[in-house]
Amino acid sequence: MMKVIRTGKKYLALCLAGLLLAGCSSRQQSAASTGTATQSEDAPSVAQVLTADGHATINAVALSAGKYSDEKLDASWSNDSPTIVLSDSGSTVSGSGATVSGSTVTITKAGTYLLSGAISDGQIIVEVSGSEAVKLVLDGVSISCASSAPLYIKDGDTILTLAPGSQNTVIDARPSESQDDPDAAIFAKDDLTVNGSGSLTVQAAAQHGIKCKDALKVVGGTVDITAAGNGAVGKDSVSIKDGSLTITAGGDGIKATNTEDATRGYVMIDGGDIRIRAEGDGIQAETLLRVNGGTLDLTTGSGSANAPQNQNVPDTELPWGGGGEGPGGQRPLAAGSQVTAQAVAATDDDSISNSTKGLKCYVDLVLAGGTGTIDAYDDGVHSDSSITVTGGSYTIATGDDGMHADRTLTVEGGAIDITRSYEGLEAFDILLSGGDIQILASDDGINAAGDAGQDEQSDSAQNPETGLGRGGFEQSQGASLTISGGTLYVNASGDGLDANGSITMTGGTVTVQGPTSGGDGALDFDDSFDLSGGTLLALGSSGMAQQPDQSSSQPFITGTASISAGAQLTLTDAAGNALLSVTAEKSYQWYCLSAPGLQAGQSYTLTAGGSSKTVSP
C-alpha cells in the first residue's frame, strides 16, 4: 500500500517550565592524559550544493571516525595554573591572563585556569587570539546569567575539563529567545571540547543548551542538558568519543548544521552513553551521520505510540487540530515534558523544526556499530539520500518508517529490530546482503518505491494534514529490492515485500507473515521477481497474491490453503526430512515456499496444522 507525503511547519520555540539551580564545590584532582595523535582539524573545503530548502546534497567527509587530538583528550592540569573563584560578593583571580569587571570574568590569555565557586548572575568570557587552546578546569562551578550566555567563548579553542567528583552547573536564565548570538547557555565561536570525569549540568530557559560555531567534541564526563531550543549544536561537526550525555530539548537533541562546506556538517558517534528526549529530531546532520559505537536511547516528539499509524488519515482524524499540530500550528509536547511551547519563526540553520525523526541526515547515514533504542514520532532512521548499516544493534519503534532513505538503503550486517512502524524499510533501492532484520509494520514491511532521480519533499514543505516528514511514494519508477544474504523476518498488515519495480533474490533467509486483507499481498511487485537463491517462506491473503517469475532458476512452491493462526506449516521431502517450517502468526489462505534444495518435478508433502497435501514446484 502506498502512502501520501507527510510533514509539518518550520516553527517552534520553547521555554522551560522551571529551572533548578544546583552546584557544589569539590576538591581539585588531576587525571592522566590518554589518546594518540590524530589528523588536523582542518581539511580542504568542498563547496556544498543545496536543495531548494537549503540543505546539503554532497558528503565529502573523508572520515570513518572522529578526530581527537592528545590535547583534547588530556584531562590533566597543573596545580600551579591561575585560579578563578566565582562569588556574588566579587569574583577573584589568582595569577595572570584573566580579569574581573563587576560580575564578568574575562580570560584573554591561552593556558589552563582552575575555576570554582558560584555566581547567581554573571558571565565568563573567553577572548583569546592565536592558535593555542584555553583549558577551563571546572571544579564545583555554578554560574547563572539572565542577560546573556553564562559561558561565552568569543575567540579561542576551548577545553572544558570536568574535575573528578565535581558537580558544575551553567544556567541561561534569559526569559525569552535571543534572535542573535550568543543564543545558548554555553556559546563558542571556536572549537569546544568537554573532557574529564566530573559532571556538568546545562539549563537554558529559552535558548539552546550548548552551541559551537566550529567543532564540538565530548570525550568524557557526565553532561546533562535541558534546553528550550536544541540540546547540543556543532556547526562544523559534533564528535562523541566517551562520557555520558543526557539531553532534554524542545528542538533537536544533537545537530551539525554546516551547509556551506561538504567536508563539514557531520556528526560522529564513536562511543559514550547518549540519552535524548527531544521534541524535534534526536540526532541530525547535514552531510554525514555515522555511529561507530556507544549506546543511544532516543525518544522524539511524543513517541511512536502517539503517532497516527495510518498516515493517510485526514486531518480531522488526527489526535490534534491545527494542520496536524497543536494550537497555533505547533506539535504537542510529550507527556511529562519539562518544556512548554511558544511559536516563533525559524531564522537560521540552528532553528527549531517540526521534524521528529530519531536519526536523520540529509546525505549519508551510516550505522557501523553501537547499540540503539529509538522511539520516534516520525521515521526512526532517515536520510534524504542513503543509509548503510554494517554493524550495531538497533531496536526501533516509530510512527512512520523504521528506516527510510530517499535513494538507497543498504544492510550488510548488524541487527535491526523494528517493533512498531507504519512501514519497516523504505527506499528507492533496497539492498540486503547481511544482518538480522525483524520488522513489525501496520502497512508494508519493505517498500522499494519512489524516484531516485528526484528528491522527495523536504521537511520544510511538510504535509499540513499529518505533520510528518517525507516518505510518500505513489508511482512505479523502476525501484528495486535486492536480497543476497542475511536474515529477514517481516510481519506486515499491508504488503510484506513491496517493490514499485523489481525484486531480486539470490540468497539469504526471508520469512514473510503477510496480510490477511484481500487488498494486499505477501509479495507485491510491478515488474518482476527473479528468484535464484536463498530461502523464502511467504504467507498471506490470496486476493492480491503474486509469485516469483516462472523463469526463476530456483524452484518454488505456491498455492492456496486454509492456514490457521498458530498452525505449523512444514514442507518435507519424500524421505520425511523437513526442508522448511514456519508457524503462522495469523490466518492465511496463500503460501509461497522456496529453498536451494527444491527440485522441479519432485513431490513434497505440505502440512498445515493437522492437514497434509502433496505439492511440487
What is the C-alpha to C-alpha distance for residues 70 and 541, in angstroms, rounded to an integer?
61
> 3-class SS at 70?
helix
The per-residue pLDDT for 31 is 31
Q: What amino acid is encoded at 261 in this protein?
A: D
Give the phi and the psi of residue 159 in degrees, each rounded to 5: -120, 125
Q: What angle do CA 114, 116, 122 make, to 5 degrees?
A: 110
Indicate the range of 2-16, 71-85, 406-420 predicted with least confidence. Answer: 2-16
Q: Is 372 within a domain?
A: yes
> 3-class SS at 47?
strand
Short-list 405, 311, 331, 309, CA closest to 361: 405
Q: Is 161 within a domain?
A: yes
Confidence of residue 610 (pLDDT cuts 50, 70, 90): confident
Average pLDDT, integer, range 449-471: 49
The per-residue pLDDT for 117 is 99
Give me the residue label for grid cell 590524530.
Answer: 38
What is the C-alpha to C-alpha distance for residues 574 and 587, in angstroms, rounded to an integer?
27
Helix (H) or strand (E) holding 72: helix 70-73
Q: Is 597 within a domain?
A: no
What is the C-alpha to C-alpha distance for residues 186 and 232, in angstroms, rounded to an integer?
9
> 3-class SS at 92?
strand
Short-list 351, 201, 374, 355, CA closest to 280: 355
What is the C-alpha to C-alpha distance for residues 392 and 365, in angstroms, rounded to an integer?
13
Reported as a single tens digit per residue, the pLDDT across 182-219 is 999 999 999 999 999 999 999 999 999 999 999 999 99
511: β partners: 489, 537
> 3-class SS at 491?
strand
What is the C-alpha to C-alpha distance for residues 56 and 364, in angstroms, rounded to an integer?
10
Q: How many CB atoms lie within 10 A of CB 475?
A: 11
Q: Kindly state the cell numbers that stand for 28.
A: 581539585
Structural domains in the chain (count): 1
Pairing of strands 386-398, 208-212: unpaired
What is the C-alpha to C-alpha distance for residues 256 and 242, in angstroms, rounded to an integer?
18
CB 505 within 8 A of CB 528: no
Q: Is 345 within a domain?
A: yes
The pTM of this model reads: 0.86
What is the C-alpha to C-alpha distance for residues 552 and 558, in angstroms, rounded to an integer?
13
Confidence of residue 33 (pLDDT cuts 50, 70, 90): very low
What is the C-alpha to C-alpha distance for residues 405 and 479, in angstroms, rounded to an integer?
12
Q: Is 445 within a domain?
A: no
Q: How many CB atoms lie within 10 A of CB 8?
A: 27
Confidence of residue 517 (pLDDT cuts 50, 70, 90): confident
Rounding to the nearest 10 degrees, give the CA dihedral for residues 129, 135, 139, 145.
30
CB 289 within 8 A of CB 311: no
Q: Which residues contact 24 (CB under 8 A, 6 or more apart)?
A: 140, 142, 167
Which domain, by its residues, includes 246? 14-36+78-406+455-460
Buried b (16+ CB within 10 A) or exposed e, 146-158: eebbbbbbbbbbb
Q: Is 521 within a domain?
A: no
Q: Kindly state the cell numbers that stand for 538.
A: 511467504
Q: How many CB atoms lie within 10 A of CB 384?
A: 25
The per-residue pLDDT for 453 is 53
For all residues of the chain together, what is the average pLDDT?
86
Confidence of residue 3 (pLDDT cuts 50, 70, 90): very low
CB 252 within 8 A of CB 234: no
The per-residue pLDDT for 477 is 75
